[in-house]
Chain A
Amino acid sequence: MFGDYSLGDLGSIFVMQGFAGLILFSVYVLMALGLAIIFGQMGVINMAHGEFMILGAYVTWMTSNLFQTYMPSLFGGYFFLAMILAFLASGALGMLVEWVLIRHLYKRPLDTLLATWGLSLMLQQAYRSVFGAREVGVELPQWMLGSLHVTDSIEVPINGVFVMCLTVLITISVAYVMYKSRWGRQVRAVVQNRIMAGAVGINTEKVDRYTYGLGCGIAGVAGSAFTMIGSTGPTSGQLYIVDTFLVVVFGGAASLLGTIASAFSISQTQSTLEFFMSGSMAKVLTLLAVVGILMLRPQGLFALKVRK
C-alpha cells in the first residue's frame, strides 16, 4: 500500500499517526482515571460512569451559553471555568449518589453493578427531559479549533494537544493525592482493610464519600474535555463505558500505573491496526488481544499485592 507515496509523505504520515496514537492514549487515560479510582480503589462497578462524564459535558455547554450571552469578550477562556464547574457538579452528584445508594452496597459489590446501571438509565432520562433528546453543539473558542501547522504536511490537532496536557496534569494530581497526601494514605488504607482502617481512627464513611466524589468529578472533567472531540447528548456516555472498563480491567483494577500502561498498549495497538485495516476490524483484533492476555493473566497487567 505504500508503493505510490513519496518518502516525505510517508514520514509525515508516521509522525501524525504517532500523534493520533498519543491522543487516543490521552483520551483513554482521561476517561479511565475516574473509574480507576471508583472501581479500582473502592471496588464499585460504576456503570453510570459515562453519565457522570456527560453531566460534565452539559455543564460545559451551559457555561459556554452563559458566556456567549453575558460576557462574549471572555469567551476565549470559558473552557477553564467550565472544567472546574464540571468537576464540582459531577463530584457533588457523585457524593450524593454515594450517600443515597452506594454506601449501602459496599458489602455486595456485584449489586453495585445493577444499582449504578439503573442510575445510568435514570440519569439518561433526566438529561433527556431537561436538555431535550437532541444532541447539543458545544461551541468552542476560536483558539481551540484547527491545527498547529508544523511543516507543510504535518498538522497536529490543537484539541488533541489540549487533551494531552490536561491528561498529564490530572494524572499527576491524582497520583500526588493518592500516593503522597495524608488523605490518599487513608483511602489506600480503607481499600486494603476497611475494618482495620476504622479501628485506627480513620473515618471510613467520609473517605468513601470523598473518594467516590473525586472519581465522579474527574469523570466530569473528562466529559467536559470530550466536548471538543465527541458528541454531547443524553446517551453519549454510553459511547465511552465499554472502552473505559476495558482499560481499567486490563490494567489491573487497583493500580493507577496499570491503568496508564493499559491505556497506552490498547491505544497504540488500536491506532496502528486502524491504519492498516478497517476501523471495525482493528477494534475486533484489539479486543481479541485483550481477552487473550486477560485469560493468561486474569489480574490484569499490574496487580496490587495484598494479603487476602
Chain B
Amino acid sequence: MSDEANKGLLSPLRRKLLMGMAAVPAITMLPRASFAQAPATSAVNTTGLAVTDTEVTVGILHSATGTMAISETGSIEAEKLAIEQINAMGGVLGRKIKFIQEDGASDWPTFAEKAKKLLVNDKVAAIMGCWTSASRKAVLPVVEQYNGMLYYPTFYEGLEQSKNVIYTGQEATQQILAGLNWIAKEKGAKTFFFIGSDYIWPRTSNKIARKHVENVLKGKVVGEEYYALGSTQFNSVINKIKLTKPDVIFTDVVGGSNVAFYKQLKAAGIDLAKQPLLTISVTEDEIDGIGGENIAGAYACMKYFQSLDNPNNKAFVPAFKKAWGEKTVIGDVTQAAYLGPWLWKLTVEKAGSFDVDKIAAASPGVEFKGAPEGYVRIHENHHLWSKTRVGRAKLDGQFELIYETADLVEPDPFPKGYQ
C-alpha cells in the first residue's frame, strides 16, 4: 500500500520540484553531514523499534472511511506529502521513512486497536494520527502503555498533556482568546451569542469564551445554544439570534450541521457582511461543502489559512496541489498534520535517536522554520507556540487574512481562571 502510494506520487519531475523546495529548510536546519553517513542502527534504536540501516517505519492512523473521512482525508494527504518530502531530501538520520496506514474507520475502539497494532506488531517509531478528541482519548492510554509517540493535528479543547503526545494544533485558549479580543476591539462588540454542536469541544471552548467575554472583555453572553451532532434544522435558533440582536455570533458547529447552519442563516436574511460572526470551526475544507456564497463575510479564528502570504506557504500550497489535485483546499488542521512528520524528524535529529523517551525529552524547544504557517516551536507542555489569526471568508471559499497576533501565543492547556 505505502510503496504504491509513493510511486504514484513521485514522478521524476515532481521529485525534482520537491527537492528544490525541500532544500530551503534543509540548509537552515541540517548540518549536511548528518545524512551523508547514517549512524549505526544499534546506536539510534535501543528499544527495538522498526528501524533498519536504510528505513524507519511510522504509522498513519486516521479515518479513511466512515463519517469522519470528510475531515481526516486532508490530514492523511498532508502527512503523506510531508513524508515524501522528507524522503526526497534524504530521510531521517539517513533512513527513508516508510509508512503503514491504518484506518480508524471513524470508530473510537478501532482507533485504539489499530494504535496497539501499530505499536506492538509493527513497532512503528511514531504515529501521525487521530482527529477527533474522542479518538485521541481512545488512543492515549495505548500510546502511554506501550510508550509510543503520537503527533496529533487537530485544534482541540485542551485539558490534556502527555509525554507521549505532541499536539500540533492549537489548544482552546490559543484559538479563542486573541480572536475575541480582536473582534471586541475592532467591532466594539459587547454582546455575544454562542452556538455550538453538543459535545466536549464546543462546550469547553464556549466555557472559556464565556469567561473571557464576561471577565476580561466585560461583555455579555446573550445566548448559548447547543444542537445535537448532525442536526440540520436551525431556524428556531436563528430566530432567537434575530430577537437578541447580538453584536457577534460566535460559533463552533461542526460537520454536516455546519452546512445546514450557514445555508439557513443566509436564507433567513442575516447578512454576514453586516452581522459579525466569528467561527472557530470552519476552515477552507468546510467551506467546500458550505459554499462560499453562504459564508462570505464571516470571520474565522485559526492559525493557518491557505492564502497566507509567506515563502514557506508559497512552496507548500503548490506542492500539495501537485500531489493531490488542483481543486484540493488546505485547511488549518491539514497544515497542522503536515507539521507532524517534520517535527518528528527534527526532534529525532536533535535527540540523535529514534528512542521514544529521548524524543519526548528532546521535543521542547524544537523549532520548525519551514512551517507553512510561518514558524512554530514545541513548548515544554508538548503543544506548539503559534500565532492566532483571523481571516474573513470570501466568495471563492478562501480566507483573507485580517489580523494576526504580533507574537507567538503560548499554549496553555490548563488555563487558570477559565475552568
Binding site for B on A (CB under 8 A): 5, 9, 13, 16-17, 19-20, 23-24, 27, 125, 128, 132-140, 145-147, 149, 153, 155, 157-160, 226, 228-236, 238-240, 270-271, 274-275, 278-280, 282-283
Given A13-B239, A134-B70: A149 in contact with B264 (beta carbons within 8 A): no
A135→B239 contact, CB < 8 A: no
How far is it, in angstroms, between the C-alpha of A117 and the C-alpha of B117 when the chains are bound? 29
A sample of 8 cross-chain residue pairs with beta-carbon separation below 8 angstroms, ordered by A number, consists of A9-B243, A20-B236, A20-B238, A133-B70, A145-B293, A159-B263, A235-B70, A239-B230
Q: Nearest Cβ in chain B — how far from A148, in angstroms?
A: 9
Closest A-chain residue to B260, C-beta based?
A230
Size category of the B interface is: 35 or more
Given contacts A137-B291, A229-B232, A280-B226, whether A147 and B240 have CB atoms under 8 Å apart is no
Across the interface, do A239 and B293 meet the contact criterion of CB distance under 8 Å?
no
Nearest residue in B to A235 (C-beta to C-beta)?
B67
B374 at the interface (CB under 8 A from A): no
- Tell whether A157 pairs with B69 under 8 Å between CB atoms, given A13-B242, A135-B256: no
Question: In the complex, A17→B69 CA distance in Å?
Answer: 35
Given A16-B239, A137-B287, A147-B267, 20 additional A-B pairs, CB 8 A:
A5-B243, A19-B235, A20-B235, A20-B238, A24-B235, A137-B259, A137-B292, A147-B269, A155-B269, A157-B268, A160-B267, A234-B69, A234-B70, A235-B256, A238-B67, A278-B225, A278-B227, A279-B225, A279-B234, A280-B226
Residues of B whose CB lies within 8 Å of any CB of A are: 64-67, 69-70, 73-74, 198, 224-228, 230-240, 242-243, 255-260, 263-264, 266-269, 285-293
Looking at the assembled complex, report how far the CB atom of A107 sits from the nearest CB atom of chain B, in whole angstroms: 33
Given the complex, which residues of B lie within 8 Å of A278, measured CB to CB? 224-227
Q: 8 shortest A-B CB distances, which residue pairs?
A: A135-B289, A231-B259, A20-B235, A157-B267, A274-B236, A279-B227, A147-B269, A155-B269
Chain B residues, CB < 8 A from A155: 268-269
Residue among A147, A229, A280 making CB contact with B263, cutoff 8 Å:
A229
Contact among B70, B233, B237, B269 for A27, CB-based, below 8 A: B233
Give the distance to chain B from A97, nearest Cβ to Cβ, in Å. Answer: 21
Give the complex CA separation of A70 and B234 in angstroms. 35
B70 touches A275 (CB 8 A): no
Name the residue on B nearest A162 (C-beta): B267
Residues of the B chain whose Cβ atoms lie less than 8 Å from the Cβ of A234: 69-70
Q: Which residues of A contact B230 (CB under 8 A)?
A: 238-239
* B260:A229 contact, CB within 8 angstroms: yes
Which of A135, A145, A159 touches B288 (beta carbons < 8 Å)? A135
Min CB distance A30 to B, Å, is: 12
Q: Assess whether A279 is in contact with B231, with CB atoms less than 8 Å apart.
A: yes
Flag if A133 contacts B225 (CB, 8 Å): no
| CA gap between A230 and B224 in the complex, in Å | 22
A133 to B70, alpha carbons, bound, how many Å?
Answer: 5
Instruction: Out of A134, A139, A229, A235, name the residue touching B267 (CB < 8 Å).
Output: A229
Contact A271 B235 (CB under 8 A): yes
Residue numbers in A under 8 Å from B67 (CB-CB):
235, 238
Is the pair B227, A280 in contact by a Cβ cutoff of 8 Å?
Answer: yes
Given A134-B289, A139-B293, A17 contacting B239 (CB threshold 8 A): yes
- Among residues of A, the one whose C-beta sits closest to the C-beta of B256 is A231
- Chain A residues near B70 (CB, 8 Å)? 133-135, 233-235
Taking CB atoms, residues of chain B closer than 8 Å to A19 are 235
Looking at the assembled complex, report how far the CB atom of B395 sits from the nearest CB atom of chain A, in whole angstroms: 11
Residues of A within 8 A of B287 (CB): 137
Judge whether A275 and B269 touch: CB under 8 Å: no
Contacting pair A158 B267 (CB below 8 A): yes
Min CB distance, A13 to chain B, in Å?
5
What is the minimal beta-carbon distance from A118 to any residue of chain B, in angstroms?
A: 14
Given contacts A134-B70, A279-B227, contact A230 B235 (CB under 8 A): no
Say whether A239 contacts B288, CB under 8 Å. no
Contact (Cβ within 8 A) B236 A271: yes
Q: How far is the CB of B190 from chain A (nearest CB, A)?
A: 15
Contacts of B226 in A (CB 8 A): 278-280
Question: Across the interface, which residues of B come within 8 angstroms of A137, CB to CB?
Answer: 259, 287-292
B260 and A231 within 8 A (CB): yes
Smallest CB separation, B174 vs chain A (Å): 26
Q: Could you say which residues of chain B place their CB within 8 Å of the CB of A139?
A: 291, 293
Most buried by B among A13, A125, A133, A282: A133
| Closest chain B residue, CB of each to CB of A132 | B73
Q: Output the nearest chain A residue to B67 by Cβ-Cβ distance.
A: A235
Contact residues in B for A239 (Cβ distance below 8 Å):
230-232, 256
**B269→A157 contact, CB < 8 A:** yes
Q: How far is the CA of A288 from the CA of B114 in the complex (A)?
A: 38
Q: Which residues of A contact B285 (CB under 8 A)?
A: 134
**Which of A16, A125, A136, A282 has a CB less than 8 Å from the CB of B242?**
A16
In the bound assembly, the distance between CA atoms of A42 and B238 in angstroms comes to 39
Max count, chain B CB within 10 A of own CB: residue among A9, A27, A159, A278: A278
Q: Roughly how many angstroms separate A33 CA and B46 CA in the complex, as a whole number? A: 64
Residues of B contacting A13 in the complex (Cβ-Cβ under 8 angstroms) = 239, 242-243
Distance of A231 Cα from B226 Cα, bound (Å): 19
Known: A5-B243, A283-B228. A159 touches B267 (CB 8 A): yes
Residues of B within 8 A of A136 (CB): 288-289
Interface centre among B64, B198, B235, B255 (most CB of A within 10 A): B235
Docked Cα-Cα span, A229 to B256, in Å, equals 11
Return the chain B residue nearest A5 by Cβ.
B243
A231 to B239, CA, bound (A): 21
Q: Quick check: B237 and A134 within 8 Å, CB to CB?
A: no
In whole angstroms, how far apart are the Cα atoms of A232 and B65 in the complex? 16
With A239-B256, A278-B225: A231-B289 Cβ-Cβ less than 8 Å? yes
Which residue from A27, A235, A271 sits with its C-beta under 8 Å from B66? Answer: A235
Residues of A within 8 A of B234 (CB): 279
* Chain B residues whose CB sits within 8 angstroms of the CB of A23 once the complex forms: 235
Question: In the complex the two chains form, what is the Cα distance from A79 to B36 in whole Å?
Answer: 62
Is B289 within 8 A of A233, CB to CB? yes
Chain B residues whose C-beta falls within 8 Å of the C-beta of A135 in the assembled complex? 70, 256, 259, 286, 288-289
- Say whether B263 contacts A228, CB under 8 Å: yes
Partner of A160, one of B64, B235, B257, B286: B235
Residues A147 and B268 in contact in the complex (CB < 8 Å), given A128-B65, A236-B256 = yes
Shortest CB-to-CB span from B338 to chain A, Å, is 17
Given contacts A133-B64, A230-B232, A235-B70, contact A274 B237 (CB under 8 A): yes
Give chain B nearest CB distance to A209 CB in angstroms.
31
Residue in A closest to B225 when the chains form the complex, CB atoms: A278
Determine if B198 and A230 form an interchain contact, defined as CB atoms under 8 angstroms apart. no
